[in-house]
């Protein structure tokens, strides 16, 4: 079996079917993105939370570091109504933590607008980013067509077979299929969250059997064994987040990398307490205390706004109790190395299987 030459490596013009996930909020520095692309994979800038200005700066930096293809990941905006009762629930419950961290009044929440997303798309188009991937839903048909017309490859995200089919129907050229093992936010958009918690072993072959576009497996894949297993299950590529999180080029703090390196597969949990949307991360004090109340909190991204300065301050104080530490169930296989070394190890491991 030719593990490295797939429909996806051909379409994306990369050497290996390995995509570094577009983890939003800091980890995907231009250095990380470029290192992965330079090593023959596809680096992804996690631009979900970025302004168009900072996107433009980072894309420029990436281009200075590599002439290989890379991707930008965007969040498809959702209709989020501000529920005043839920906002005040959240602020009331979080107050003791705000006091503990010497934070002032909670920030005023802002209704998300489509404008930010449109500006992000404009950057993708004007800077001619080679690949654009989407999470949290499927953008309007006109957007997909617009990108494809400009020769920008489009990748969707699904957590169920049905969601993958919806991506295919909308014209996505390939789809990331996120298993329940995956770290960070769940990409579920067409079914209740719990129904989208399907393990990679079951999810990938059933999806491959149902769609014609190439499938990218995500969730729990950390090394050559995972990449090859995903290929055997029918995926044409893998997307790895947690594995790149502890790499030297990753933008999370050194003390957070050290913590992640010491966590086990049972230490992560899916919670909506941080952002209003279910996401997998380390079961820390924040999760233990607030996960039971997550149903009282506002939806994403409102709750995300309400916890933002708490997470930021905890980060500054190197306090792991009150920040979100996204990680997948493969966290126990995390390594401390450069992205190039990780890529090289994966390739060596697979070659050892002598396929």
Binding site for a copy of itself (CB under 8 A): 1, 160-162, 179-181, 191, 194-203, 205-206, 209, 219-223, 225-226, 228-230, 232-234, 264-266, 269, 328-330, 332-333, 353-355
CB 30 within 8 A of CB 62: yes
Q: Quick one: 348 or 355, whose CB is closer to a copy of itself?
A: 355
- Nearer to a copy of itself by Cβ, of 94 and 350: the residue is 350
Peptide bond into 301 cis (omega under 30): yes
Could you tell me the smallest distance in angstroms from the CB atom of residue 333 to a copy of itself?
A: 6
Nearer residue to a copy of itself within complex by CB, 293 or 353? 353
Nearer CB in complex with a copy of itself: 144/237: 237
Angle of CA points 219, 175, 16, to nearest 5° = 70
- Nearest 5°: the CA angle 75, 77, 78 is 125
CB 42, min distance to a copy of itself, A: 20
**Which of 13, 76, 26, 14 lies closest to 316 in space, CA to CA?**
26
Q: What does the alpha-carbon distance between residue 268 and residue 19 come to, in Å, rounded to a whole number? A: 22
CB 306 within 8 A of CB 94: yes
Kindly state the smallest distance separating residue 221's Cβ from a copy of itself, in Å: 6
| HEC assignment per residue over 270-335 | EECCCCCCCEEEECCHHHHHHHHHHHHCCCCCHHHHHHHHHHHHHHHCCCCCCCCCECCCCHHHCC
Nearer to a copy of itself, 84 or 264 (CB): 264
Q: Which is nearer to a copy of itself, 107 or 199 (CB)?
A: 199
Give the residues across from 268 on adjacent strands. Answer: 282
Q: How far is the CB of 264 from a copy of itself (least distance, A)?
A: 6
At which residue do the structure tokens 């050194």 appear? 254
Shortest Å distance, C-beta 238 to a copy of itself: 10
Contact 123, 53 (CB under 8 A): no
Based on CB atoms, which residue is closest to a copy of itself, 146 or 349?
349
Whichever of 94 and 175 has its CB closer to a copy of itself, that residue is 175
Burial tier of 268 (Cβ tally within 10 Å: 0-12, 13-18, 19+): buried
Residue 330 CB, nearest distance to a copy of itself (Å)? Answer: 4
Residue 199 CB, nearest distance to a copy of itself (Å)? 4
Number of other residues whose CB lies within 10 A of the CB of residue 53? 10
Q: Minimum distance between the CB of residue 282 and a copy of itself, rounded to whole angstroms?
A: 12
Q: Which of 189, 226, 219, 236 is nearest to 42 (CA)?
A: 236
Name the nearest CA neighbour of 15 among 344, 352, 353.
344
**Shortest distance, position 250 Cβ to a copy of itself, whole Å:** 19
Q: How far is the CB of 332 from a copy of itself (least distance, A)?
A: 5
Cα-Cα-Cα-Cα dihedral sign, residues 297, 301, 305, 311: positive
Q: CB neighbours (10 Å) of residue 29? A: 21
Q: Which is nearer to a copy of itself, 139 or 184 (CB)?
A: 184
Could you give the 3-state DSSP secondary structure of residue 42?
strand
Closer Cβ to a copy of itself, 255 or 353, answer by number: 353
The DSSP output letter for 194 is G
Cis before 125? omega within 30: no
């Amino acid at each position: 079996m030719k593990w490295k030459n797939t429909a996806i490596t051909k379409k994306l013009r990369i050497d290996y079917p390995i995509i570094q996930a577009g983890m939003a909020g800091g980890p995907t520095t231009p250095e990380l993105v470029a290192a992965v692309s330079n090593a023959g994979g596809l680096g992804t800038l996690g631009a979900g939370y970025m302004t168009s200005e900072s996107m433009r700066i980072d894309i420029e930096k990436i281009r200075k570091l590599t002439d290989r293809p890379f991707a930008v990941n965007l969040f498809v905006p959702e209709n989020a109504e501000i529920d005043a009762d839920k906002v005040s629930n959240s602020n009331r419950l979080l107050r003791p933590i705000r006091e503990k961290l010497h934070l002032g009044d909670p920030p005023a929440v802002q209704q998300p607008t489509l404008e930010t997303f449109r500006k992000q798309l404009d950057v993708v188009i004007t800077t001619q980013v080679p690949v654009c991937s989407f999470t949290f839903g499927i953008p309007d048909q006109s957007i997909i067509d617009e990108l494809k017309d400009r020769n920008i490859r489009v990748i969707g995200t699904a957590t169920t077979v049905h969601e993958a089919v919806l991506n295919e129907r909308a014209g996505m050229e390939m789809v990331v299929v996120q298993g329940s093992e995956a770290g960070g936010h769940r990409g579920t958009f067409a079914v209740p969250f719990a129904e989208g918690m399907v393990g990679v072993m079951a999810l990938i072959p059933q999806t491959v059997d149902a769609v014609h576009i190439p499938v990218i497996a995500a969730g729990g894949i950390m090394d050559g064994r995972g990449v090859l297993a995903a290929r055997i299950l029918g995926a044409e590529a893998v997307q790895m987040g947690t594995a790149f999180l502890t790499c030297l080029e990753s933008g999370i703090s050194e003390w957070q990398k050290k913590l992640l390196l010491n966590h086990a597969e049972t230490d992560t949990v899916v919670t909506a307490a941080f952002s209003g949307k279910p996401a997998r991360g380390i079961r820390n004090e924040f999760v233990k205390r607030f996960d039971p109340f997550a149903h009282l909190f506002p939806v994403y991204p409102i709750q995300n706004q309400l916890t933002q300065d708490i997470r930021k301050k905890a980060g500054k104080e190197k306090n792991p109790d009150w920040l979100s530490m996204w990680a997948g169930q493969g966290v126990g296989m995390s390594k401390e190395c450069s992205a190039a070394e990780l890529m090289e190890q994966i390739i060596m491991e697979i070659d050892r299987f002598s396929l």
